[in-house]
Structure 1
Amino acid sequence: MSGETENGRTETADVRKGNFEGKILDATNLKLLAAVLMLLDHIHQMFSAVGAPLWLTMAGRPVFPLFLFAASESFYHTRSKRKYLQRLLAASWGMTIFTFLLQRLIPNDNVVLMNNAFSTFFVTGLYMLFWNGFMDGLRRRDVKKIIKSVLGGLIPVACAFPIYLVAVLSFQENVSPFTIRFLATLALLVPNILTVEGGFSLVVLGTAFYVFRNHRVLQIAVLLILSGFSYFVDGGIQWMMCFAAIPIFLYNGKAGRGKKWFFYIFYPAHIALLYLISAWCC
């Protein structure tokens, strides 16, 4: 059973029954917290060459898990999953073109812009959609739908082929660096498992948030497992994304004020502003 909130979002029965006692953060709070931490992380990205402290990017490690968690909730509750994915794809295209042109028009030797969280959210959303189809196929015993959903999961894998092509061309001496960069930008317009920001493990995390959305302990367990894997395999500071478990645990299942377009605007705007300041002042 489900009901509509004032902003059109569907609430689960648990939310209506008040089974989130002591949980103080709604979805809007999570997104705003993630936005603040993301700002700190990108300050480090843009100004690390002039001594921006490491703690800024350490503080930013929980950002992706928080946004992916919020995205899993948004995808579940959205009225039109197709339109939701279309918005993310358009935003991904826009971000790729925007960062390419920005770096072309205003070079910055200290910063290489590869920021495109929208691509990660889009690919994650695809796997959420395929999961829905797979589970629906199981319930209906529809083998065709199950196979279609499984094959759909291979689409982001197949879309990585243009990246391999660019890699091959990059070893050709008669191909100019600008041509390689231009072709790479075109390849990046097709979100895939190789080019998603943060790596494919974040797509796995976001999909797990969706699969286990009714089991908060399992959601946090997956986050901690992937954080531990990052610590023991990759080293570095990415393991600190585990601290996203705290606000996720405090999530009360409510939408809050929404602010649907806030991230779509804030994300490219603050990156552009920080990049320009870095280019002109450093």
Structure 2
Amino acid sequence: MTTFSLKLTAVVLMTLDHIGLYIPAAPAWLRWLGRGAYPLFLFCMVQGYAHTRSRKRYLLRLYLLSLFMTALGLFLNTRFLPEGGYGNHNIFLPLFLTGVLISAVELYQRDRKRGGLLLGAAALVQVLYGLLPFLLPFTRNFSGDVLTGVVPNLAVNEFGFEFIALGLAMYFLRDRREALAAVYLVFCIYQFSAEALYGVFPVQWMMVLALPLMLRYNGERGRGWKWFFYVYYPAHTCLLFLLARGLG
């Protein structure tokens, strides 16, 4: 499978997931299938990041899209108070953070001084996030999801630090499929155990269904359609959200 076909599969799974999230009485299995969407997007991101011509432009694009999703979410959740309901949708933020850490680790491997400076800068951003309510009191009125969209936080994002760590593993093991499969399976077991220990029905582990698709990746890009995937994400979440409110 090419990255294009993997992304298209992820789009279908993501759409099913969000139908299950927003549409009343939608079957639960839609959300189960949706667990495979983000891992596929993450897999495609690290493959693309390894071959992109300009990582700076790639990261800038992801950050700007993260800002857009933050503003969109803030507008919709505020507009439809007190009900709210749009939630936090910002897939671009964890992808951005994954890319930043990949670059930092690789730079550290080549040049410990410069790499250490970049890792230190990333750490300072985490500190800044925590200090924002004290430095800028008006930010206390915003949720963590809004603040992290502006000052990216490794822990406070839609998928958390654990998926950023998974992205790093996908990148550095991209040429070692057996090792990648083993790490991915362990990660799925961890997801199952964590949810079970919290007493909730384990769902996230179903992302394991995406692994056979990743293992079929043939190293080719396939068709472009780059901007389609960027535009589709906010467009379909808005449409489903507004449709659900109309049905409600």
TM-score for both structures, normalised by structure 2: 0.89
Task: Find the counterpart in structure 2 of residue 213 from structure 1.
Answer: 174
**Count of aligned residue pairs for this structure pair:** 241
The answer on 1:234 being equivalent to 2:195 is yes
1:265 to 231, 240, 243: 231
Task: Find the counterpart in structure 2 of residue 158 from structure 1.
Answer: 127
Task: Find the counterpart in structure 2 of residue 144 from structure 1.
Answer: 113
The answer on 1:94 being equivalent to 2:49 is no
- Does the CA-based 8 Å contact 2:46-2:171 persist in structure 1? yes
The Cα shift of 1:65 comes to 0.8
**Structure 2 unpaired stretches of 5+:** 197-201
The answer on 1:133 being equivalent to 2:102 is no
- What is the letter of the counterpart of residue 28 of structure 2? L
Task: Find the counterpart in structure 2 of residue 225 from structure 1.
Answer: 186
Task: Find the counterpart in structure 2 of residue 4 from structure 1.
Answer: none
The Cα shift of 1:64 comes to 1.1
The Cα shift of 1:62 comes to 0.9
The Cα shift of 1:157 comes to 3.4
- Does the CA-based 8 Å contact 2:144-2:156 persist in structure 1? no
- Does the CA-based 8 Å contact 1:160-1:193 persist in structure 2? no
The Cα shift of 1:179 comes to 6.4
1:39 to 15, 30, 37: 15
- Does the CA-based 8 Å contact 2:14-2:37 persist in structure 1? yes
1:256 to 216, 219, 222: 222
2:50 to 72, 76, 83: 76
Classify 1:182/1:151 alpha carbon distance in 2 versus 1 (closer, same or farther; 3 Å).
closer
- Does the CA-based 8 Å contact 2:22-2:241 persist in structure 1? yes
SS of equivalent residue, structure 1 residue 253:
coil
Write the deviation string for residues 187-212 of structure 1: whole angstroms up to 9, x where unpaired. 53222112221111110111111111
- Does the CA-based 8 Å contact 2:181-2:211 persist in structure 1? yes
Classify 1:159/1:88 alpha carbon distance in 2 versus 1 (closer, same or farther; 3 Å).
farther
Classify 1:159/1:229 alpha carbon distance in 2 versus 1 (closer, same or farther; 3 Å).
farther
Classify 1:116/1:69 alpha carbon distance in 2 versus 1 (closer, same or farther; 3 Å).
same
- What is the letter of the counterpart of residue 210 of structure 1? Y
Alignment map for 1:19-30 (pairs within 5 Å): 25-30=1-6
Question: More helix by proportion, 1 or 2?
Answer: 2
The answer on 1:192 being equivalent to 2:153 is yes
- C-alpha RMSD of matched pairs (Å): 2.3
SS of equivalent residue, structure 2 residue 223:
coil
How many Å separate the matches in 2 of 1:119 and 1:132? 20
Write the deviation string for residues 224-270 of structure 1: whole angstroms up to 9, x where unpaired. 11111111122321111111111001110000012111211000000
- What is the letter of the counterpart of residue 131 of structure 1? V
- Runs of 4+ in structure 1 over 4 Å off: none
How many Å separate the matches in 1 of 2:124 and 2:220? 33
Write the deviation string for residues 43-93 of structure 1: whole angstroms up to 9, x where unpaired. 11112xx32111000001111110010000111110000000000000000
- Does the CA-based 8 Å contact 2:104-2:118 persist in structure 1? yes
More moved, 260-269 vs 27-36: 260-269
- What is the letter of the counterpart of residue 97 of structure 1? A
The Cα shift of 1:145 comes to 2.8
SS of equivalent residue, structure 2 residue 226:
coil
Classify 1:196/1:45 alpha carbon distance in 2 versus 1 (closer, same or farther; 3 Å).
same
Structure with the greater alpha carbon radius of gyration:
1
- What is the letter of the counterpart of residue 145 of structure 1? R
Classify 1:162/1:227 alpha carbon distance in 2 versus 1 (closer, same or farther; 3 Å).
farther
**Structure 1 unpaired stretches of 5+:** 1-24, 138-142, 170-174
TM-score for both structures, normalised by structure 1: 0.79
